[in-house]
């Protein structure tokens, strides 16, 4: 089964500015794909489309075999909450919640069992090396630590697909390398499919494939 499958995607923004056409991408479980390309070419737009947050003008996106196009908003939101995890550059971690509460948030959207959610949050926090910090408030953490919390939160509901937009953009190279290793190991051990938008060579180094986005779609870059 393919975790992500797109075929002939096209996207126009504004009145008639065509970002790309004929874009095809297949990502299998356990595979980590890095997408690079010039500023403004449409990398973040493509991630939003893969998450069902933005519509394609042509072509189809399937997540675990389910086509996003025909789904109504409610079903799309359900699929996104249950099957997709996000990591953003700006973290989106809430400062006045504890790490445990931040990481448990995606589970709260799926199931009301808060004790189980807390336990599960503790397990992923340990996986990212923050097992003893669950009761600390997010506002007291460093940038690298916050990014690890963001990764834990993206993984906690065991999504089939992980989408990351410049996940190490704010970090120094050494911390960025450690965070990426961790993300790559988590993707592999869980058999998730990951798409990471990046300008960083360090991300490209942990990826199984690096693809360049241009107006004509995605082209492989030789490692
Ligand atoms: N809803 C919209 N209406 C008009 N223009 C848009 C819309 N969404 C995106 N764009 C434009 O589409 C282009 C692609 O944006 P996007 O953020 O996807 O680029 P990117 O490749 O991620 O860039 P960067 O590397 O700088 O983050 C930009 O020029 C942006 O201004």
Which atom of ligand 1 lies at the shortest distance from residue 48's CA?
Answer: 18
CB of 15 closer than 6 angstroms to any ligand 1 atom: no
Helix H or strand E encompassing 120: helix 114-127
Place of tokens 């890095």: 34
For the chain, the structural domain boundaries read 4-221
Residue whose CA is at the smallest distance from ligand 1 atom 1: 13
Q: Pick the closest to residue 192 from 33, 52, 48, 66 (CA basis).
A: 33
Cβ proximity of 171 and 200 under 8 Å: no
Cβ proximity of 104 and 116 under 8 Å: no
Q: What is the mean pLDDT of the segment spanning 90-104?
A: 87
% pLDDT > 90, the chain: 67
Q: Pick the closest to residue 44 from 61, 20, 24 (CA basis).
A: 20
CB of 16 closer than 6 angstroms to any ligand 1 atom: no
Query: Per-residue pLDDT for 60 more than 90?
Result: yes
Which atom of ligand 1 lies at the shortest distance from residue 14's CA?
Answer: 4
- What is the fold, at CATH topology level, of the domain defined by 4-221? Rossmann fold (3.40.50)
- Residue 43: CB partners within 8 Å, gap ≥ 6? 35, 36, 37, 165, 197, 213
The 10s digit of each residue's pLDDT in 121-168 is: 999 999 888 999 999 999 999 988 888 899 999 999 999 999 999 888
CB of 116 closer than 6 angstroms to any ligand 1 atom: no
CB of 112 closer than 6 angstroms to any ligand 1 atom: no
């Amino acid at each position: 089964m393919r975790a992500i499958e797109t075929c002939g995607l096209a996207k126009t923004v504004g009145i008639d500015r065509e970002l790309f056409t004929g874009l095809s991408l297949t990502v299998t479980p356990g595979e980590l794909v890095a997408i690079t390309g010039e500023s403004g070419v449409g990398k973040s737009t493509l991630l939003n489309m893969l998450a069902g947050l933005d519509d394609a003008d042509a072509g189809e996106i399937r997540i675990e075999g389910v086509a996003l196009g025909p789904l109504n908003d409610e079903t799309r939101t359900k699929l996104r909450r249950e099957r997709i995890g996000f990591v953003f550059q700006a973290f989106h971690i809430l400062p006045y919640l504890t790490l445990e509460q931040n990481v448990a948030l995606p589970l709260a959207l799926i199931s009301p069992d808060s004790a189980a959610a807390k336990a599960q949050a503790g397990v992923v926090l340990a996986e990212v090396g923050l097992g003893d910090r669950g009761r600390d408030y997010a506002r007291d953490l460093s940038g690298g630590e916050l990014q690890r919390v963001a990764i834990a939160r993206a993984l906690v509901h065991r999504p089939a697909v992980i989408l990351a937009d410049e996940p190490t953009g704010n970090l120094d190279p050494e911390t960025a390398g450690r965070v990426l290793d961790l993300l790559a190991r988590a993707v592999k051990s869980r058999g998730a499919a990951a798409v990471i938008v990046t300008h960083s060579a360090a991300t490209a180094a942990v990826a199984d494939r690096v693809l360049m986005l241009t107006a004509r779609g995605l082209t492989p870059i030789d490692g």
